[in-house]
Amino acid sequence: MAEISVKLRAGSRAAKASAVAGAVCCVVGGSSTLGHWDPKASPKLTQVLNDVLTWEGVVADAKLCSGEQFKFCIWNGHTHEYVWEESGSMHAMPAVGLRLQAFFEAASSDTTSQSSPVLSPSAQTDKLWKVVGGNTGGVLVREGCPLTSTELGRLSTGSLVQEIQIINDRLHYQKLSGDGPASGWISLRLKGKDLVARTSQVQSEFGTRSNEQENVDSGRRTQSAAPTNSKLKIQVTVDHARSPKAAEAGKLDSAACCLVGGIPALGSWDPKQAPKLSQRRLDRSTTIWEGCLDGIEVDAGEQYKYCIFDSVKHLYVWEESGPMHFWPTSAAVHEFEAQQVEATPVAAWPPPTTVPRSAPAAELGSGAEIWIPWTEHKRSPEVPHSILHTFHWPFALTSERLRDIGELGFAAVQISPAQKSKPGGEWWTRYQPQDYLTIDGLGSWEDLRKLSEEADSRGLLVIADVVFNHMLVVANCQEWKGAQKSPQQLAALKRRLSDAVGPVFDAEDFQWPWFEMSGEHWDNDNRYEGWGNGEWSELRHCEKVVKVQQQHLQLLLDAGVRGFRFDAVKHMRPEHLAELLSYVRQSGQACFAYGEVLSVDASMHSEYMESLAMPSTDFPLTVYMNHILMNGQEAASEDVATACAKAAHTEGW
């Protein structure tokens, strides 16, 4: 068991991310104990009461070795996304009996001290559980969260445990008293009966909570007892002809209609936590959901959506497309997947049809065009005037939503990388290719062909995201760094890489010698051949690699794709990209292509835009817009170059 506390710097991105609902601090590393760099599977720390800058907890696993290197990351359990991972040196796991006081993004300042032998007075009572089931010998303990993981034995009835984390109905615990495994995973309930229950026994066994802590909790209860809306009645109508899938989902006995939005009162986009309408009735070709929402604090005009949720399987069944709804101030009747925008009670929509401009168009860059959806302005027909990024959507889902996408005014859809990638359901696995000659992960080649065919019939362009700079991660930076001093370890890692990308590629198709691309190297001349974060498997520019990548492009062309977004372009030499662009342009198909240049350096954009006659992502404009949104209207008086210079200085771009 390792006891860890980490301190965040006030005002940092990590501190801001920690203040968002759903945020947790994860301890991530290369071992199975630390989740194989997957935050969902890694140990989680708990935010210290009344201190948003400090996280603490225990990492309990018999396999854990002192000295193991790791990092902290802020992960949002509501959105299931990395929010911020620390840069800089790795931390080292403390020895048994020591407590690590760590500092986020400042591992050199870490210190260790003697661990507390018992639960500290600051422990929160809602993290303590008592085993109340398992009368025939206790509850079954497994090594991991999955029910198929190794059995460790049984935890006796009456045992007291501390919660480390909860995933669905599984509790990861650290034992405080009783017989059985010191740590592991148990079920919260079985066949409707509780196996464990939160306990107030902490007051007698570990001391009562301080008056200060009680006052904080009392203040929270008082604050939450003043809802803005009291018994707000809402009715939602689902037209069966317009929304057949929502209508079909509404027939499930366990279905509910959820009101999901970005704030905690609306579940932070998690339907399990969102308010629900459970009353329903059928009126000819319409399903009507209704109910009274009592005591929910939501500001008038807050945007949200309705979704049909299966409360037994804990799954989204169908989320409405179309414009968002606005939180009403009185009883309201809404249409599911309404085709028209509702009137908002705070008059925030629609935006003005004219947009004031404080700077001439020339300052926005040569040839820049602004397309504003709510005006009559039109762009030239050579390129799509607006692209909907169907980020991480399965091909079948994108196909189903094409009618709505077209009616909303979009000219193209951009899909996530289509090739077979690193196993896993997270979005970032799509950007770790494993096999360019196989279309898999978001759907098959046939699914992609059907999507392209349907899009073409509706006058929409399909743009594919392609990742040709690097392939999947097979080892972390520390493993590669250590291997540079050990020929045996380097050979083993190369075999691991060959096994992962074979038989199409082998280790010799990658860039050697290995070089960690981090810090200033993201933007200097080392950006072409360096391994990103020391772990991206960097492909080299050679005839074999180019040929395989051209075969992938042909697979996409044959499926009907007519546009390409080249990922991580600034890490590819222009001559490499030129061979791929030439192949596309000589295919006989009218194609649109652009590159991702993640930089505010105009010369870096010109390196690709001018020599390859290819547009790039307008990252400087993105930075400028973000600068205005973050700093207020007065920031609009600054030009793009000034805003980018400030961002580069403060954010490290």
Same domain for 90 and 9 = yes
DSSP string for residues in 414-436:
EEPP-EEESSSSSGGGGGSEEEE
Range among 165-169, 301-305, 392-396 with highest mean pLDDT value: 392-396
Same domain for 551 and 439 = yes
Residue 214 pLDDT exceeds 60? no
Domain end (from 189, 205, 221)? 205
Identify the pLDDT of residue 136. 57
Residue 359 counted as domain residue: no
Residues in contact with 479: Cβ distance below 8 Å, sequence separation at least 6, in sequence order: 30, 489, 493
| Average pLDDT score over residue span 83-110 | 82
Identify the pLDDT of residue 413. 96
Residue 64 pLDDT exceeds 70? no
**Model pTM score:** 0.47
Same domain for 164 and 241 = no
Same domain for 436 and 558 = yes
Residue 362 counted as domain residue: no
Domain that residue 551 falls in: 380-469+541-617
Residue 217 pLDDT exceeds 60? no
Residue 462 counted as domain residue: yes
Question: Could you give the CA distance from residue 432 to residue 473 in angstroms, rounded to a whole number?
Answer: 7
Same domain for 327 and 236 = yes
Residue 199 pLDDT exceeds 80? no
User: For all residues of the chain together, what is the average pLDDT?
Assistant: 79
| Average pLDDT score over residue span 4-8 | 90
Residue 211: its H or E element: helix 211-224
Residue 165 counted as domain residue: yes
Residue 372 counted as domain residue: no
Residue 243 contacts residue 320 (beta carbons within 8 Å): yes
Identify the pLDDT of residue 65. 67
Same domain for 493 and 440 = no
| Average pLDDT score over residue span 162-175 | 82
Question: Could you give the CA distance from residue 590 to residue 49 in angstroms, rounded to a whole number?
Answer: 59
| Average pLDDT score over residue span 313-333 | 76
Identify the pLDDT of residue 484. 94
Residue 127 counted as domain residue: no
Same domain for 521 and 573 = no
Q: Which amino acid is at 45?
A: L
Residue 221 pLDDT exceeds 50? no
Same domain for 243 and 281 = yes
Domain end (from 538, 566, 584)? 538
Same domain for 572 and 450 = yes
What CATH code is carried by the domain that includes residue 78?
2.60.40.10
Same domain for 282 and 187 = no
Residue 468 pLDDT exceeds 90? yes
Residue 303 contacts residue 317 (beta carbons within 8 Å): no
Q: Which amino acid is at 176?
A: L
Percent of the chain exceeding pLDDT 90 equals 28
pLDDT band of 342, cuts 50, 70, 90: low
Domain end (from 335, 361, 389)? 335
Residue 407 counted as domain residue: yes
Identify the pLDDT of residue 284. 80
Same domain for 458 and 546 = yes
Residue 309 counted as domain residue: yes
Same domain for 196 and 167 = yes
| Average pLDDT score over residue span 383-387 | 83
470-471 and 332-335 strand pairing: unpaired
Residue 364: its H or E element: none
149: helix, coil or strand?
coil
Diameter of the chain measured on Cα atoms:
79
Q: Considering its fold, how many domains does the chain have in total?
A: 5
Range name among 265-279, 370-384, 470-484 with the lowest pLDDT average: 370-384
| Average pLDDT score over residue span 440-447 | 94
Q: How far is CA 406 from the centre of its chain?
A: 27
What CATH code is carried by the domain that includes residue 570?
3.20.20.80
| Average pLDDT score over residue span 454-459 | 92
